[in-house]
Chain A
Amino acid sequence: MNEAKFRPGERVRVLKAYPPGHIRTPHYIRGCVGEVERICGAFPNPEELAQMRSGLPAQPLYRVRFLQKNVWPDYAGPATDVLEIEIYQHWLEPA
């Protein structure tokens, strides 16, 4: 299992990258900055499972909280609205 690099409350940026294959990081969130809400555990990497490999070592998975207004340029709702997405560690870097 890969060690969890981030702790709840830390700010992280989602990689802005577009590799081929089965990617569970939604397109719209790539490049956005959010805050780790919790560590969900560690799981075999689904990108590797999708290619018929083991996905090991298990990758830490985080629930990351984003402000809606930081995700959608024309967001009209309250400024405090948030969006939470579960993202694997290899898609995150410190922000």
Chain B
Amino acid sequence: MGGEPGSTVVPDEHDYAEWERRIDAMAVLLWGLKGTKKYFSVDEHRKAIESLPPEVYDSIAYYEKWILALAQCMVGRGVVSSAELAQKMKDVMFKRQHHDMGGLPAGKVEPSEHDYAEWERRVDALSVLLGSKKILTVDERRRAIESLPPEAYDQMSYYERWTSALAQTLIQRGVITTEELARKMHERS
């Protein structure tokens, strides 16, 4: 949010709670386990925090963000599975994920016939091909789509979400790098 309007920063001296110190220590320890399955980098940690939905990002404390990032990174690295975490977190209420809107009030569904644009067919073909070549799974695509910030999720069309997910998963798989993508986007702009 650098450069955006903000309110006055009021510096204040404060001490850290015991749980905050523990989270900090745990994260620093995990960053130190280089070369092991349990290792994750400070950059993965930052990526997890930056992926938080805006209203979550704004509504929770600094070290609460760290906790969510730890959970995200540990699931990502396979240190714990979502299932194990679910078992341990029974009845701990997290916010509903934005895409998971079953049961919420909604308007009437108006079915309409429509054709697909050429780029939409290409995105579909590319995704299906990458799937058949085992370069990405439908579940990775869904995860990437479900991780979109709520306002992006609502504004994007169906295949725009697919395009965004393609970029995200190909970067994660190491098929392309953010540098390559940035360079191409710059050339085309």
Contacts and interface: CB of A to CB of B under 8 A. Distances in A.
Contacts, number: 97
Contacts of B146: 22
A55 B138 CA distance: 13
A77 interface: no
Contact of A90 (B86, B91, B94): B86
A22 B138 CA distance: 11
Interface in A37-53: 45-53
B97 A27 contact: yes
Interface string B72-116: 100110100111011101111111110010110000000000000
A14 B43 CA distance: 35
A23 interface: yes
Interface residues of A, number: 26
Interface in A1-37: 15-23, 26-28
Using C-beta atoms within 8 Å of the partner chain, give the interface range for chain B. Answer: 20 to 34
Contacts of A49: 137-140
Nearest to B90: A17
A15 B86 contact: yes
A28 B102 CA distance: 7
A71 B91 CA distance: 17
Contacts of B172: 52
B82 A26 contact: no
A51 to B, nearest CB: 6
A71 B103 CA distance: 10
A29 B94 CA distance: 15
B28 interface: no
Given A17-B86, A28-B102, A51 B91 contact: no
Interface of A: 15-23, 26-28, 45-53, 55, 71-72, 90-91
Given A15-B87, A51-B78, 20 more contacts: A16-B90, A18-B95, A19-B71, A20-B85, A21-B75, A22-B82, A23-B100, A46-B139, A47-B139, A48-B82, A49-B138, A50-B137, A50-B140, A51-B76, A51-B82, A52-B173, A55-B139, A72-B103, A90-B86, A90-B87
